[in-house]
């Protein structure tokens, strides 16, 4: 590497970290806005920071990854393709759906871009595949709101969701290919995919539809039976990471639907007991716990704990600003692009960048959580909340395993890790969330328009309460309803749609 390239690489470390810090700060400022239409300036700054990161990162890869001082224009062309395609899809979404929630989509595109950069640095062919799959998923994200008026009917198929999940996961258990000691994937027509990734969406739909109406004790028992059957099949398939995610979704959605802390406490105790059973039942679980407790054991470090120790070396080697793209050794970590992408990010882009990426994942969760709180429709609220819990807990499990906070589980980091099933299922899951937001916004606008027109009509009629039964004018009771509307307007309007109905 010549003298000029060395300076360019050092500068790019600061530029990449600065762009990510700026983007993350703007993302948190954006969720403080009262409406998505207020995003103007913060949204523009986010787009600028995203653009700076893509071009800075790919220019660096073009100069450094070949390793012989000869620029490789493939990285620059791939970066241009990523930037152009994602930008066009975001603009198309904004044009097609003026009520669309742009913050969520922008955050997804930023996380996808981080994944493209790290994956292409290790294997550019895989980065191209990742781009193609994610573009397909983003097209689904844009088209799904066309069917938003049918979203509420999804709550009518709860047992179909439950049976579909059990059949799909059971099929993987019986017929699935063994990957790293677990039955994970099925191959259909030459394409391998992981049904458990898509069954997360079906499972969230099942939980939301089962708990959206009046909840009786038998409803809780039936929901628990189906949920634990899903978890049990995943445990038998040795897909313990997915089993843990399904279980947490069940406990948290049950808590939201009932508001009873005893379900959370009981769930934690039952989960702890189940973990002990798995420890004695599966040898690979015992190995993972032993490695977690002492990865530096001389008997483990060159074999069983090699993956986690290399991950820790990579994270520490990067330092605050990173070693620089192309100047780390992430390829030494087995399955780095799928299971250990966070370690690669921390090594080459730096701890500041990696921490901001985690903060951005938390921002996505908080954004979805705040959306769910505004919905009076229980089915929409439960689904949106479940999608947020699924996303943030999978992020926690992935990053926690890579930094040795919890034992390794082998799940992907949504939107960042390489994996077609993971990226596509995550995009579909949030596509439903985005479509729900658009439908809710349109209904809220319809209610507000009706309220304002009826209030104007009421104020024009003289002696209106003297000659109207029960104080109503054309089905409108202004004295109480105006007061109620104003209170709900001040509190964010979370119950306006319910009142309209």
pLDDT band at 189 (very low <50, low <70, confident <90, very high): low
Within a domain: 86: yes
Final residue belonging to a domain, choices 141, 171, 206: 141
Where does residue 337 rank: exposed (0-12), middle (13-18), buried (19+ CB within 10 A)? buried
Q: With contact defined as beta carbons under 8 Å apart, do 435 and 97 qualify?
A: no
Final residue belonging to a domain, choices 94, 117, 141: 141
* CB neighbour burial string for 231-265, b if at least 16 within 10 angstroms, e if fewer: bbbbbebbbbbbbbbbbbbbbbbbbbbeeeeebee
Quote the number of domains for the chain.
2
Higher pLDDT, 116 or 496: 116
Least confident of 21-35, 44-58, 358-372, 373-387: 21-35
pLDDT at 9: 79
* Cα(451)–Cα(16) distance, integer angstroms: 49
Q: Which two tokens stand for residue 114?
A: 């981080």
DSSP 35: S
**Over residues 142-162, mean pLDDT:** 92
Final residue belonging to a domain, choices 86, 116, 141: 141
Within a domain: 52: yes
pLDDT at 237: 85
Mean pLDDT of the chain: 85
Q: Where are the alpha helices (DSSP H) in 350-477?
A: 351-373, 378-402, 420-460
Within a domain: 90: yes
Render pLDDT for 109-147 as a digit per residue (tens, 0 to 9).
999 999 999 999 999 999 999 999 999 999 999 999 999
Within a domain: 224: no
Q: Which of 334, 328, 278 minimizes the C-alpha distance to 310?
A: 334
Within a domain: 113: yes
In percent, how much of the chain has pLDDT > 90?
A: 54
Within a domain: 321: no
Q: Which residue range(s) make up the domain with 28?
A: 3-141
Within a domain: 95: yes
**pTM, entire model:** 0.88
Within a domain: 352: no
361: Cα separation from own chain's centroid: 7
């Amino acid at each position: 590497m010549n003298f000029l390239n060395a300076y360019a690489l050092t500068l790019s470390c600061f530029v990449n970290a600065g762009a990510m810090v700026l983007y993350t700060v703007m993302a948190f400022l954006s969720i403080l806005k009262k409406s998505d239409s207020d995003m103007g300036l913060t949204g523009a700054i986010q787009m600028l920071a995203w653009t700076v990161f893509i071009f800075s990162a790919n220019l660096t890869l073009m100069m450094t990854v070949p390793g012989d001082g000869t620029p490789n224009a493939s990285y620059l062309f791939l970066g241009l393709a990523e930037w152009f395609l994602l930008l066009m899809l975001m603009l198309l979404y904004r044009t097609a759906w003026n009520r669309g929630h742009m913050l969520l989509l922008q955050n997804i595109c930023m996380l996808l871009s981080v994944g493209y950069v790290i994956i292409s640095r290790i294997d550019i062919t895989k980065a191209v595949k990742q781009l193609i799959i994610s573009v397909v998923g983003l097209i689904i994200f844009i088209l799904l709101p066309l069917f938003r008026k049918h979203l509420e009917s999804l709550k009518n198929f709860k047992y179909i969701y439950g049976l579909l999940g059990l059949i799909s996961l059971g099929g993987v258990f019986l017929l699935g290919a063994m990957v790293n000691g677990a039955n994970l994937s099925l191959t259909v027509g030459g394409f391998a995919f992981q049904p458990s990734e898509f069954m997360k969406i079906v499972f969230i739909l099942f939980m939301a539809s089962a708990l959206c109406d009046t909840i009786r004790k038998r409803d809780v028992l039936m929901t628990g039976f189906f949920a634990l059957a899903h978890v049990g099949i995943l445990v038998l398939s040795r897909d313990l990471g997915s089993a843990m995610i399904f279980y947490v979704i069940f406990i948290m959605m049950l808590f939201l639907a009932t508001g009873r802390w005893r379900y959370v406490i009981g769930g934690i105790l039952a989960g702890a007991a189940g973990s002990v059973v798995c420890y004695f039942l599966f040898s690979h679980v015992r190995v993972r716990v032993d490695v977690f407790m002492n990865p530096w054991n001389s008997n483990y470090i060159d074999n069983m704990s090699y993956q986690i120790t290399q991950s820790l070396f990579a994270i520490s080697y990067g330092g605050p600003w990173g070693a620089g793209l192309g100047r780390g050794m992430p390829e030494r970590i087995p399955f780095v692009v799928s299971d250990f992408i966070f370690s690669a990010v921390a090594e080459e882009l730096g701890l500041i960048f990696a921490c901001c990426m985690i903060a951005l994942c938390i921002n996505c969760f908080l954004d979805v959580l705040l959306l769910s709180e505004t919905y009076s429709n229980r089915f929409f609220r439960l689904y949106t909340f479940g999608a947020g819990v699924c996303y943030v807990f999978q992020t926690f499990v992935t990053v926690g395993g890579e930094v040795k906070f919890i034992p390794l589980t082998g799940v992907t980091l949504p939107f960042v890790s390489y994996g077609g099933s993971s990226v596509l299922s995550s995009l579909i899951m949030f596509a439903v969330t985005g479509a729900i937001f658009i439908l809710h916004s349109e209904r809220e606008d319809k209610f507000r328009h009706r309220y304002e027109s009826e209030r104007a009509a009421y104020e024009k009629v003289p002696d209106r309460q003297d000659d109207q039964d029960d104080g109503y004018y054309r089905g409108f009771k202004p004295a109480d309803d105006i007061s109620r509307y104003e209170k709900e307007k001040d509190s964010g309007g979370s119950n306006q749609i319910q009142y309209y109905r």
